[in-house]
Amino acid sequence: MLKLKNVTFGYAEEPVLNNINFEVKQGENVSVIGESGCGKSTLLQIIYGLYDVQGEILWDGEQIFGPAFNLVPGHAFMKYLAQDFDLMPPLTVAENVGKYLSNMYPVKKKRRINELLEVVEMTELKDIKAKNLSGGQQQRVALARALAKKPELILLDEPFSHIDQFRKNNLRRKLFDYLKKENISCIVATHDSTDALSFADKTIVLKNQKIYAEASPQELYENPPNVYVASLFGDVNEVLLKSIKPSEKSRKKIILYPEEIKFSSKSEIKAKVKNAHFHGNNWLIEADLNGQHIFFMHSSALKPGRIVGLKISKKLIASRC
Ligand SMILES: Nc1ncnc2c1ncn2[C@@H]1O[C@H](COP(=O)(O)OP(=O)(O)OP(=O)(O)O)[C@@H](O)[C@H]1O
């Protein structure tokens, strides 16, 4: 198990991360999400031991030290996949993946390389030299190489940033299923809410040097503590409660996702359509609700200027109040 206890770190005087505490259990998938520059990569780097910190970073009770005590960064149980891939350009895909595997057992080595190439869907390109690969292909090879020696903990910094949407969903599923099957803990720093929502057991939101929220993705999505956390999962509305609940007198606001506001011709809550944006199987509608700019989802495009009725579940309103 990984444990961070009161960890503070800054490149200069001002801390980038201040008094960070959290745990990652064996086999757990933890996503770290937050706006650009909030310290996601820095967090992975200090866990890997690239910097000296205040506080303690422990793996199974043993402290992970920075360069002041551990000159060569890295430990056998942990792999860090940075945003640069560091492949050997003249070597083939298979040679890169097997670079750190022992040559004592060539059959076993070959089997392991083939298994990993399957996970990252690079089997067909195994004899191609790394220098001839696209950025996304290089990223997949780097992922396979990081997994080659079966780490107990893997730190992934934006692991799918170069991979096209077409391949990303499948690859993400395969990789995270593989990590679960092998009971490998992982921390994924990401901008992508799908990484944070679909696969993580726990999501950590960083903001202003601190852990701003920490819970399962479902909990964060269903009960966002504030609009910043909600907005990490996509478009979000902050609506005056009295505009959807006539008995309300205060100026209290509640958070609602576009998919939680339903079209209902009979409803007393009226809004004026401003625009409609195609979103695959439905449309994101922009509308004006008593002077508030809101978004809701609908199965078809609605014409600008149309007055529509909107409905929000009473149970949902009560849970967000
Ligand atoms: N080597 C460095 N030296 C000095 N400052 C740095 C260094 N690396 C990062 N920083 C600063 O630390 C802060 C956190 O950077 P970091 O790269 O950890 O953020 P991030 O959340 O990963 O950002 P992004 O999502 O854009 O990758 C930023 O203000 C950045 O400018």
Q: How far apart are CA 197 and CA 190, in angstroms?
A: 11
Report CA(37)–ligand 1 centroid distance (Å). 5
Q: How much is the pLDDT for 321?
A: 83
What pLDDT score does 292 carry?
96
Contacts with 26 (C-beta within 8 Å, 6 or more apart), sequence order: 1, 152, 183, 185
CA of 154 to the centre of ligand 1 (A): 20
Q: Taking 90 as the threshold, does the pLDDT of residue 164 lie above it?
A: no
Atom 23 of ligand 1, nearest CA residue: 37
**Residue 49 Cα, ligand 1 centroid: separation in angstroms?**
16
Nearest CA to ligand 1 atom 25: 36
What is the mean pLDDT of the segment spanning 117-141? Answer: 95
What per-residue confidence (pLDDT) applies to 303? 96
Report, as an integer, the average pLDDT of 221-245. 91
* 207 and 264 assigned to the same domain: no
Report d(CA 232, CA 35) in Å as an integer. Answer: 9
Helix ranges, 28-134 (H): 40-48, 93-97, 106-119
224 and 254 together in one domain = no
**CA 31, CA 232: separation in Å to the nearest integer?**
12
Burial of 206 from C-beta contacts in 10 A (0-12 / 13-18 / 19+):
buried
ipTM, 2 dp:
0.98
Going by CA atoms, what residue is nearest to atom 16 of ligand 1? 39
Ligand 1 residue neighbourhood (C-beta within 6 Å): 11, 16, 34, 36-42, 189, 191
Compute the distance from residue 51 Cα to the ligand 1 centre, in Å: 13
Which pLDDT value is given to residue 245?
87
Q: Are residues 159 and 264 in the same domain?
A: no
Nearest to 27 by CA among 126, 141, 152, 147: 152
Ligand 1 centre to CA of 168 (Å) is 25
Looking at ligand 1, which residue's alpha carbon is closest to its atom 1?
11
Q: What is the pLDDT of residue 192?
A: 81
The last residue of a domain, from among 230, 255, 280: 230
157 shares a domain with 262: no
Q: Which residue among 230, 262, 295 closes a domain? A: 230
Residues 48 and 14 placed together within one structural domain of the fold: yes
Shared domain check, 311 and 165: no
Structural domain of 250 = 238-320
Number of domains in the chain: 2
Same domain, 179 and 120: yes
pLDDT (tens digit, 9 = 90+) per residue, 272-316? 999 999 999 999 999 999 999 999 999 999 999 999 999 999 999
Last residue of a domain, one of 196, 230, 264: 230
Residue 194: pLDDT over 90: no
For a substitution probing ligand 1, which of 11, 36, 212 has the most ligand atoms within 8 Å of its CB? 11
Residue 59 Cα to ligand 1 middle (Å): 24
Same domain, 225 and 243: no
Residues 130 and 42 in one domain: yes
175 and 84 co-located in one domain? yes
Q: Are 6 and 198 in contact (CB under 8 A)?
A: no
Pairing of strands 29-33, 185-190: parallel
**For ligand 1, mutation pick of 17, 20, 35, 40 (most atoms within 8 Å of CB):** 40
For residue 278, give the CATH number of its domain.
2.40.50.140
Q: Given the structure tokens 């490998």, which residue do they identify?
A: 184
Ligand 1 centroid to Cα of residue 93, in Å, is 30
Domain holding 43: CATH number? 3.40.50.300
Share of the chain above pLDDT 90, in %: 82
The minimum-distance atom of ligand 1 relative to the CA of 42 is: 18
Which pLDDT tens digit goes with each residue over 149-161? 999 999 999 999 8
208 lies in the same domain as 313? no
Task: Encode pLDDT of 44-78 as tens digits.
Answer: 999 999 999 999 999 999 999 999 888 777 788 99
Please state the pTM of the whole predicted model.
0.90
Alpha carbon nearest to ligand 1 atom 10, residue: 11
List, for residues 24-35, the tens digit of each pLDDT value. 999 999 999 998
Q: What is the mean pLDDT of the chain?
A: 93
Q: With contact defined as beta carbons under 8 Å apart, do 214 and 274 qualify?
A: no
Report the first-to-last Cα separation within the chain, whole angstroms.
36
Are residues 258 and 193 both part of a single domain?
no
Q: Which atom of ligand 1 is nearest to the CA of 189?
A: 22
Does pLDDT of 196 surpass 90? no
